[in-house]
Amino acid sequence: KLVKLADKISNLRDIAASPPASWSLTRQQEYFEWAKAVIDGVRGANAKLEAAFDDAYARKPRG
């Protein structure tokens, strides 16, 4: 669970800072939503990592 949290945090931060060139805005937003669904399924594992995930999720690309 902790590895999933850390992985998704890293991925969201990377996408927000420098999205893959081939990804549309819609694809980026879909990834953020998918990652949130994954993390919502493991909440309760580590409050600090969950807060870091929420912070990364707040940087979801907007149109």
This prediction's pTM: 0.94
Q: Please tell me the distance from the alpha carbon of residue 8 to that of residue 39, in angstroms, as a whole number.
A: 8
For 14-59, write each residue's pLDDT tens digit: 999 999 999 999 999 999 999 999 999 999 999 999 999 999 999 9
Q: Please tell me the distance from the alpha carbon of residue 38 to that of residue 8, in angstroms, as a whole number.
A: 9
Give the pLDDT band of residue 63 (cuts 50, 70, 90).
Answer: confident
Q: What is the pLDDT of residue 7?
A: 98
CA 62 to chain CA centroid, nearest Å: 14
Q: Scan for tokens 């979801």, then name that residue.
A: 60
